[in-house]
Amino acid sequence: CAYYRDGKDNVELRDEIEMLVGQGHQGFKGKVGGLSLAEDIARMEIVRDVIGPDRDLMIDVNRAWDLKTAIEGARALENLNPVWLEEPVRWTDDRRELKLLAQKTTIPLSGGESELTSYGCRAMLEEQAIQILQFDCTMFGGFTEGRKLAALCELNHVDVAPHHDCFIHAPLVAASPAGRIVESFTDPERDPLQAELFENPPKIADGWLTLNEAPGIGLTLSAEALKKFATPVT
């Protein structure tokens, strides 16, 4: 939720969150880093006001802040009680800066979606830079590497909250003691390919994703989607 969009004001933001609450969602991720710190904090205050104190709020910076801004932003956001602050610092020296930021805030820090290898994710764990790892099986390594990283997270007392593609990541999260949450996009316009790709996607209702009983990751490609999207290779 709470994506930036040209012309989207705080009134529309409030309407969006009220709609999602009405759909039964229990966790909400808000984007920051594209506006001034004061404007972004005001946006997150709106989200917290609408969802109330008992639903989860995650805040995603997408590596937009330098360390000084991250410290200031984290301190200003602490009273909103976020579950985590995601990718709060720029990539250039992120592991060291994440460790420094962790000393200045009570908000747990998350990251890992921008890593391109399991070794990069492992380094984040070894350096104790984050409290939640957000690797992405679809970007590297597939399900096999995801299982390895989930096991490493369990051993290092770090939660698993994979990036995107909840249909792929949900079985992995469910199978790991470190598994915490998967992120989903209920609006098919956000990811039209995923919305049409499978015949038997997991069901999402009232903030919960329910896996089916099919073997493996439980997904069957839709014949209609293959006709629509596939490109023959000769």
The predicted-structure confidence for 158-199, as pLDDT tens digits, reads as follows 999 999 889 999 999 999 999 999 998 877 777 888 888 999
Which two tokens mark 110?
A: 């998350």
* Confidence at 1, pLDDT banded by 50, 70, 90: low
* Confidence at 2, pLDDT banded by 50, 70, 90: low
Question: Residue 177: its pLDDT value, please?
Answer: 97
d(CA 191, CA 212): 21
Residues composing the chain: 234
Which two tokens mark 156?
A: 């290092």
Task: Give the percent of the chain with pLDDT over 70.
Answer: 98
Distance of CA 47 to the CA centre of its chain: 16
**Residues 122-163: tens digit of each pLDDT:** 999 999 999 999 999 999 999 999 999 999 999 999 999 999
Q: What's the CATH number of domain 10-184, 2.30.40.10, 1.10.357.10, 3.20.20.120, 3.30.1370.110?
A: 3.20.20.120
Residue scoring higher pLDDT (2 or 88): 88
Cα–Cα distances (Å) from 64 to 42, 56, 61, 151, in that order, read 17, 22, 6, 30
Question: Residue 233: its pLDDT value, please?
Answer: 86
DSSP state letter for 201: P
Say what the pTM is: 0.91
**Residues 188-221: tens digit of each pLDDT:** 777 888 888 999 988 888 889 999 999 888 999 9
**Residues 20-54: tens digit of each pLDDT:** 999 999 999 999 999 999 999 999 999 999 999 99
Q: Rounded to 10 degrees, what is the CA torsion of 189, 140, 157, 52?
A: -10
d(CA 97, CA 90): 9
Question: Taking 90 as the threshold, does the pLDDT of residue 7 lie above it?
Answer: no
Question: Taking 90 as the threshold, does the pLDDT of residue 109 lie above it?
Answer: yes
218 burial type by CB count under 10 A (0-12 exposed, 13-18 middle, 19+ buried): middle
d(CA 75, CA 97): 15
